[in-house]
Homo-oligomer: A and B are copies of this chain.
Amino acid sequence: MEAAKPSLDLVRSVTDEHVLRALMRHRRLTRAELAQETGISKPTAGESVRRLTERGLLVDTGERTPGGRGKGRVGSYYALSGSTGTALAVAIAPEGVVAEVVDVYGSTVARTRREISRPARPADVARALQEAVATAAGDAESGAGRPRLAVVSAADPVDRATGRLVQLPDAPFLVGELDPVAVLGAHVDGPVTVDNDVNWAARAERDHADGGELRDFAYLYLGEGLGCAVVSDGVVRRGHGGLAGEIAYLLTAGADGRAVRFIDVFAELGLRRAGSSGIHTDRLLAALRSPGAAATLREALSGVLAAVVALADPGCVVLGGSWGPALLDDAAEPTPGEALSLDGRMPWAVPVRAARMRDDPAFAGARADAVTRLRAAIVAPA
């Protein structure tokens, strides 16, 4: 509703969009099915099919049978043509790189994974990224051409304006000067979207919830690194530079009650890795069995939670990462968040629960967004 002034082909474009979206949901439809599915009249749907076929977006699949039960005339099935293209979804993590080519239906066209041996050095990560992307894009290119766009998840802070990874002190992973936009741009025709893995995981968690109930929540990632995604009004809010959620620097209560940065709590407990500056998760999980260390960690996390709740007022806090959910498993499941009460710090209660998406949620979020963006790219220039 912005600069749509002299509109009459606007109405045609919305018709075409409905037809395209219906075929994204159903893969193949006859013109009559299309009319019923979209609510558009039969002649109009037929005309839209004619236009879109002419533009090369739709093809007659050649399949003619209208289904088993049909008694009447055969119909022609139409489907999106191959020229609708594919999208590339990539996840960069210290354990390895995943690159997947997806089509408009959300199906996987090609997939590659490159492991990285620990500790992950910047050059190793860059090489793994290059190889994984080249392999996946190459495998898919023979079939469906170059991907039209790319969506990248990176286990590092991402500059919102440029998409480059940002190097912050005390951050666990050293990806150096990696520029995913430049690397992916060589394999993709369109835009490259880059964001933090925690933000992608939060989007996956949001989409996983039923009926859009998760419109305002915080996703705390507690693993080798510390991160937080803030979802407000249904959208991950990245802030001015894309660095929103860098909770490592939040002031919280340390072991002796002094105000220390969250990340420093782990140093004081001897839970930071020697080589990198990440958190030694194995040692941390072991330390959780000692009441003293567990209490210190819970106290520190409680201060962080209070800050998140005070500033963002989430309706719920989701804990993810390798050891975040472990803080909850101890508590009785029926009373989630009991073990992480805010200790009377905050005057209102907020439920805390473990993340439901556990299998590479960052990649899942990026992959889903790649499909969404691909669909939008097909519809938009209509």
Interface residue SS majority, chain A: loop
Q: Which of B215, B306, B314 contacts A251 (CB 8 A)?
A: B306
Known A10-B11, A250-B307, A259-B254: A313·B241 in contact at CB below 8 Å: yes
Is A269 interfacial (CB 8 A cutoff)?
no
Is A237 interfacial (CB 8 A cutoff)?
yes
Q: Which of B168, B250, B345 contacts A347 (CB 8 A)?
A: B168
- Residues of B near A239 (CB, < 8 A) are 216, 232, 312-315
- Residues of B near A181 (CB, < 8 A) are none
Q: How far is the CB of A198 from chain B (nearest CB, A)?
A: 13
Q: How many copies does the complex hold?
A: 2
Q: Is the CB of A169 within 8 A of B348?
A: no
Chain A stretch 250-295: residues in CB contact (< 8 A) with chain B: 250-254, 257-261
Chain A stretch 204-236: residues in CB contact (< 8 A) with chain B: 215-217, 228, 230, 232-233, 235
Contact with B along A1-39 (1 / 0, CB 8 A): 100111110110010011000000000000000000011
Q: Which of B7, B216, B232, B258 contacts A11 (CB 8 A)?
A: B7
Minimum CB distance partner of A246 in chain B: B310
Q: Which of B4, B168, B246, B311 contacts A245 (CB 8 A)?
A: B311
Q: How far is the CB of A101 from chain B (nearest CB, A)?
A: 28
Please, how many angstroms separate the alpha-carbon atoms of A169 and B1 in the complex?
A: 44
Q: Which of A169, A232, A233 has its CB near the most chain B CB atoms (within 10 A)?
A: A232
A-B complex: 9 closest residue pairs judged by Cβ atoms = A239-B313, A240-B315, A216-B240, A253-B259, A259-B259, A232-B237, A244-B313, A243-B313, A251-B303
Q: Could you list some 19 contacts between A and B, CB below 8 A?
A: A5-B40, A10-B11, A11-B11, A232-B238, A241-B348, A244-B311, A244-B313, A246-B311, A247-B311, A248-B310, A249-B346, A250-B306, A251-B251, A251-B259, A251-B306, A251-B307, A251-B345, A254-B259, A311-B312
Known pairs A4-B14, A243-B313; list 5 more (Cβ under 8 Å). A216-B240, A240-B316, A244-B311, A250-B310, A251-B303
